[in-house]
Amino acid sequence: MKQIVKTSPPPVQKYGAHCLSDTNKTPDGRLRFLVPLLLSAQTKDNITAMAIFRLDKFLSEQFSDDELKSFECESINDIKIHNLTFKNIKQAEISTLEKLIYPVGFYKKKALYLKKLGDLEDVPNNVSELIKLNGIGFKMAKIATHICWDTISGIAVDTHVQRITQKLGWAGNTKVTASANTVMKDLEDNIPNNFWGEINETVVGFGQVWCKAISPNCDQCKLRNKECKWKPQLKTRK
């Protein structure tokens, strides 16, 4: 699967939360990993990344609506993400946060959650404390401990991991009806923990480009007649 993903690099490898900070060695650096996780729910990776770029560029300075509308960043290499801090989030008005993160999904609610992060001194270093933060669930907390603290606390199961690992027979069932919690337990029971850290990014990338929820590219997938246990109604793409 990793080799397949390399042939068509997915959005998660360019705009995923693990790409968007300059360091995890300082509190503010760890914050810059946590914020994209907070914003990412129900939002595409490139939209989340653009919101982070706008926060980084404009949060500590005055800006006009025209400047905000005209701002574009096509690559994470265009900007060094180092201005987003606990201090400037704490000092920002909620209306400003809303403008900067729009159009991420549920941006008004996420602006409130983001504002509350400004009251922290550092990102919590364990899942039990992370899930106490508004907008952070178990999946995001597990990713956060990994990218913020270099600690593997489990396998993060999102919709891609939940769907694809069942199709492959790694967890749940090939009818793809098992819950995220069941999939997580099966994966953590069956996969050696030295592989846990790479499962989410690899499977998510595979799901973004190849094994999509709608119209998966089964007819060209190299896993179809090998690892994959799912039996789709194959159609040739036009």
Question: What pLDDT, on a 0 to 100 scale, did the predictor assign at position 30?
Answer: 96
Would you place residue 58 in the very low, low, confident or very high pLDDT band (cuts 50, 70, 90)? confident
Encode pLDDT of 160-190 as tens digits: 999 999 999 999 998 899 999 999 999 999 9
Q: What is the mean pLDDT of residues 80-96?
A: 89
In CATH, 12-149 is 3.40.1190.20: no
Mean pLDDT of the chain: 89
Encode pLDDT of 195-235 as tens digits: 999 999 999 999 999 999 998 988 888 898 778 888 765 44
Residue of higher predicted confidence among 21 and 182: 182
Region of poorest pLDDT, from 30-34, 88-92, 115-119, 233-237: 233-237
Encode pLDDT of 24-44 as tens digits: 999 999 999 999 999 999 999
Question: What pLDDT, on a 0 to 100 scale, did the predictor assign at position 225?
Answer: 76
CATH architecture of 155-220: Orthogonal Bundle (1.10)
Structure tokens at 186: 């099966």
Q: Could you tell me the residue ranges of all domains in the chain? A: 12-149, 155-220
Would you place residue 72 in the very low, low, confident or very high pLDDT band (cuts 50, 70, 90)? low
Would you place residue 152 in the very low, low, confident or very high pLDDT band (cuts 50, 70, 90)? very high
Q: What residues act catalytically?
A: 139
Would you place residue 126 in the very low, low, confident or very high pLDDT band (cuts 50, 70, 90)? very high
For the cut 90, the answer to whether the pLDDT of residue 82 exceeds it is: no
